[in-house]
Every structure is written in structure tokens, then in C-alpha cells.
Amino acid sequence: MFRDLSRPIETGMPTYPGDPDVTLAPDATHEADGYATGELRTGTHAGTHVDAPRHTVPGGEAIDEQPVGRFAFDARLVDCRPLEPREAIEPEALPAPDALEGDADLLVPRTGWASHWGTERYRDHPYLTPAAAERCRELGVGVGLDAFGPDPTPPAPTAEPESARDGEPQGTPAHDVLLGDSLPIVENLRGLGDLPTRFRLYAFPLRLRDGDGSPVRAVAEWEN
């Protein structure tokens, strides 16, 4: 079976705070030109996308420098629910180093935060602690997330000051651990609710020259 795990690319879609807005508009039309084309303006990290090491690691690999086969993953779903807003995911929530036995190269922590897409609460997703990212590095696996990313996202401007929890890491430590080892990060997944524990995940990026990331069509495949 196949399932599309990606967000539609559309005008006005949610983007990470500070990233470019997305617009998708007609360029040529059948009525005026006899054919249809559109114009897409987007950041490299809009919607469901993969991060290249260059995203947070100076001098890291660009997205077009990575072999295309690297984006076909043996994925393992890890159900981390229930989780509170901005709750830290610790290493103990992830498989132990001797538990994978080489049968996965991507962990997909299911937080349930995909249900908040399009709301300010989506910013308050759980996140990986630096130690949890180190656990992934020890396992030699990347992560796929139903959230903006593995690090905390700044709260919405309208949020109460205390919405950011004490002790939240600053910057991008989880990104840095994973991307520093060229381990993949897939962000803004959807449709994880009833996936099997093990599945194939295909998340092929656009071949953007010197790109720091790229939108993807993320697709899960598993035996019925």
C-alpha cells in the first residue's frame, strides 16, 4: 500500500517563522494563452521537506550533492504520544542502540502534532533533546517528524511569555547533531496515525543547485 505523507504546496500555507511566504498563482491561462502554466514562489523549507547538512552546518553537503538513493528510507515508527505542548522527547523514548539491528535508517517519532497544522499551536510541538539527537546519531538514523522540526520553534507572537518552557535548548542543537553526521531530517509529515511500525518512506528532493533543503513528495509504502 501507498500513502501520501506530504502537505499540499499552496498559497498562504503555514511556514516556519521568518521563512518566505508561499504563493502559487496562474501565469498563462487557457483562456488568454491556449495553455496553462503557473508561478511558484517558495522557500526551500516549505511544507513537507528534507534538510541538507548545509542547512545548519557551514560547509555541509548541499541537497544536490547527496545521492538520490539516500532519500529512500527503511523507516521505523516510534509512537511518542501522549505529549504536552513543547514537551522534550528524551533518549528513553527512542529505541536503544541494540534494538534496531540495522533494520532502519530513519526513525519517525509520532507526536500527534500534525493535527495542529494551520494553527498557532503547531509551533508548540514537542522536540528532541540534544541527547535524543545523539541517540539517533549513535543508531546511525535520521528522523522524520510530524512537526516543524527536531528543535523548538519560537512561540507565536500572541502566545503568553511562559509558553516557552524553562530549559528549552536555544538554536538548532538537534539539527546540528544530525546534519553534522549527514543524517537526514524530514519535516512536516502528515498521515502517521495508523501506519505500521515498519515501512518504506520515499522523500525525493528537487535537485536544487547548492540547496540547503527541498520540498518533497513524501510517500509511505508497506505490505497490506
Report pLDDT digits (tens) over 113-132. 999 999 999 999 999 999 99
Residue 59 zone, left/alpha/beta (φ > 0; ψ -120 to 50; rest) = left
Q: Who has greater pLDDT, 190 or 163?
A: 190
CATH code, 52? 3.50.30.50
Q: Is residue 179 part of a domain?
A: yes
pLDDT digits (tens, 9 = 90+) for 172-222: 999 999 999 999 999 999 999 999 999 999 999 999 999 999 999 999 999
The model's pTM is 0.96
Block residue for cell numbers 509529515: 189
Residue 160 lies in a domain: no
For the chain, the average pLDDT equals 95
Is the Cα dihedral 117, 61, 132, 219 positive or negative? positive
105 inside domain? yes
**Which domain range does residue 206 map to?**
2-155+165-221
Does the N-terminal peptide bond of residue 85 adopt cis geometry, omega within 30 degrees of 0? no
Using alpha carbons, list the distances in angstroms from residue 121 to 8, 117, 149, 156, 209. 19, 8, 14, 8, 34
Q: Which residue has the higher pLDDT, 161 or 141?
A: 141
Indicate the number of domains in the chain: 1
Q: Is residue 7 part of a domain?
A: yes
Cα dist from 204 to 25, 75, 113, whole Å = 24, 15, 23
Residue 190 counted as domain residue: yes
